[in-house]
Amino acid sequence: MSQLWRIAVEAPLPEALTYASDFDVKRGSFVEVPLGKRSAQGLVLGPTSEVPNFEIKKVYSTKKDYPILPESFVKWLEWVSDYYLYPPGLVAGAVLPPLEPSKKERASKRPPVIPLLEQTSWPELTEEQQAVFESMTSVSGFQTHLLFGVTGSGKTEVYLKLLQEILKKNKSGIVLVPEISLTPQLLHRFASRFGDQVAVIHSQLTEREKTNQWWDVVSGRKRILIGARSALFCPLPDLGIIIVDEEHEPSYKQDEKLKYHGRDSAIMLGKLSACPVVLGSATPSMESWKNAMDGKYKLQRMGQRVQNRALPVVKVVDLKLNKEEQQKRKDLGLDLPSWMSLELYQALTKSQLNGEQAALFLNRRGVAQVVSCPSCGFVVECPNCDISLTLHGKNHLVCHYCDYTEVLKASCTSCKEGELKPLGVGTEQVETDVARLFPKARIARADRDEVQSRLEMEELIQKMENHEIDILIGTQMIAKGLDFPKLNTVGLVLADIGFNLPDFRASERSFQLMTQVAGRAGRHVRPGQNPGEVIIQTLNPQHVSISHAIHHDFESFAQQELQDRSALNYPPLGKLVSFRLQGNQLSQVEKAAHALAHRARQLQQRFSAYTNVEVLGPAEAAIAKLRGKFRYHLLLKGPRNQTLNQITRQMISDESWLPSGVQIVIDVDPLHLL
């Protein structure tokens, strides 16, 4: 009889299937198998002696073009599937490139993915950088290092030096960056050091570009892979190091389908590959900081900017206008928009006079966040989502969640009398106001409406570096990682945006964002020169994240934040699993949510292992309707992941009770609770 094999088939099946094979297959090889009336690809997980009580189908063929995955990598894929409760075949499906290998390269009009640059010399490391480098390389095998360095301390230089060591040993390395806006400048630095050894994978590449880059690293032609979180699924041979830059970034967590966290998954891949993992940040996540404090990670500190450049001076401005401020404006004959303080106006004026650059940061696109009727209070909302529409241009209303659009009507559709008025401010409005106040300034806007591709982002960065832009206005796209020599003034237009979200991580995110935005200012100011200047505008100057951010004091903030969370056992002190129930009928979704909560509580009564698990909810989600679907949330909170995963599996082991049309979406270690 043919050998039986467990194969993770690319389909939404909770477990691997059993197939027979007449020819030689190995664990880690990809095969083509029958599935129902179609054929599907699958990953071989290993032989099995269990004979199922149904007809066993045979493997059609092996995918000989693709390499056999390393054992450590297959174990990692199994861990990802098990930990994030996601079908093993769909996890394995994330490994292969989008297209078949191309025998003949097509001519392309696009610029090369990796710029061809002259090799630059290697600078001497600073004392701090050298000490950190030696500490990291003194340990062999797996170890997680938290590189905690202030903005501008030269973390990238340490990454480059570590990779140089890895290449000397004929090994390869992965560098994860949180989003596309960070890659152009980073790529230039890596390409100018390592030449044709660098490959890159991110969402802005074409399918053919992605496929070519994948083969470059898998075949060993290139040994350094830079990419967004999905780059982890590229099976590099002889993996020697994984670097996760800006490890605190929420964009490392995937929100759709496989809800994995890039940082946490990278640590597990490093462990299974017996190689070091370096997490870098000026504002570490509470999870990583606690692990460093507990001794699970090795803390590496860099507290000085390169060449002893000073950290910027941070000023907090209360946007609630007092009489004195109003009088000052009148005396100066200034007609400033409501969002701009006198201090910010004066800082921008000084920046222009000195021939420097300034950046204004606001995490809201468009002209205004809300359009409402002052007569009856009616707010124009998206018909598909429980969200107000954002005004773009003069009369273009857009939903930023489902892309629904409509034209702004002059009169209120509710009371038929009032005139609809825009409220709030977005990047588009800021751009218009700044152009009016500084008519000679060269102004650019960087948000998802203006910058939609890799080429547009590269063009923007080039213009900033060549000082063809005086004032850059943008969303969080410009908030981190970027480094411009003449950028000395940074303004946070409204720091309060993230303060009051119904999420226990709101303060942490606000602190991180403020510190990262501030870190763009004065990065190239020499000792003795005036340091960069940061203006934080807020309606709530006493907020805990502001009081710590102005002193660049992460450690005090972290201590306070962990203390606050320990009272309620929130991560990183406790663990969470979130269930989102969604469907087209509100009554069915609500019914299913209550039934699921009831199942959880029944399991708690039956098994003493679950007594420490808290069942929170169900409740309507903060965004109660999205893309036409009604949403309910249920949360499980407990001290250990294993226990939460176990009860979760039992809760969903049989879905016969689930009303038709209702879907359950599970998120292990959720980052967003909206």
Is the pLDDT at 481 greater than 70? The verdict is no
User: What percentage of residues in the chain have a pLDDT greater than 70?
Assistant: 96
pLDDT tens across 343-356, in order?
A: 999 999 999 999 99
Q: Exposed (0-12), middle (13-18) or buried (19+): which is 665, by Cβ within 10 Å?
A: middle
Task: Give the pLDDT of residue 626.
Answer: 93
Task: Give the pLDDT of residue 477.
Answer: 72
Is the pLDDT at 624 greater than 70? The verdict is yes
For 127-307, CATH number?
A: 3.40.50.300
Domain boundaries, the chain: 3-93, 127-307, 309-367+427-564, 368-424, 575-668
Question: Which residue has better confidence, 605 or 119?
Answer: 605
Task: Give the pLDDT of residue 417.
Answer: 80
pLDDT tens across 492-551, in order?
A: 998 887 776 778 898 999 899 888 888 888 777 777 778 889 999 998 888 888 989 888
Task: Give the pLDDT of residue 108.
Answer: 57
Task: Give the pLDDT of residue 414.
Answer: 86
For 128, 190, 194, 308, 580, the CA distances from 121, given in Å and listed in that order, are 20, 12, 11, 22, 52
Is the pLDDT at 189 greater than 80? The verdict is yes
> What's the mean pLDDT in 225-243?
96
Is the pLDDT at 182 greater than 70? The verdict is no
Question: Which residue has better confidence, 482 or 244?
Answer: 244
Task: Give the pLDDT of residue 246.
Answer: 92
pLDDT band at 114; cut points 50, 70, 90 = confident
CA nearest to 285, candidates 271, 309, 270, 267: 267
Q: Exposed (0-12), middle (13-18) or buried (19+): which is 192, by Cβ within 10 Å?
A: middle
Class of the CATH domain delimited by 3-93? alpha beta
Determine whether domain 309-367+427-564 maps to CATH 3.20.20.105.
Answer: no
Superfamily of domain 575-668, CATH level 4: Ribosomal protein S10 (3.30.70.600)
Cβ atoms of 180 and 457 closer than 8 Å = yes
> What's the mean pLDDT in 432-455?
87
Task: Give the pLDDT of residue 559.
Answer: 96
Q: Exposed (0-12), middle (13-18) or buried (19+): which is 292, by Cβ within 10 Å?
A: buried
Task: Give the pLDDT of residue 180.
Answer: 59
- Residue for token pair 């002209």: 367
pLDDT tens across 595-617, in order?
A: 999 999 999 999 999 999 999 99
CA distance 110 to 98: 19
Cβ atoms of 88 and 161 closer than 8 Å = no
Taking the model in full, what pTM does it have? 0.91
- Identical fold, 3-93 and 575-668: no
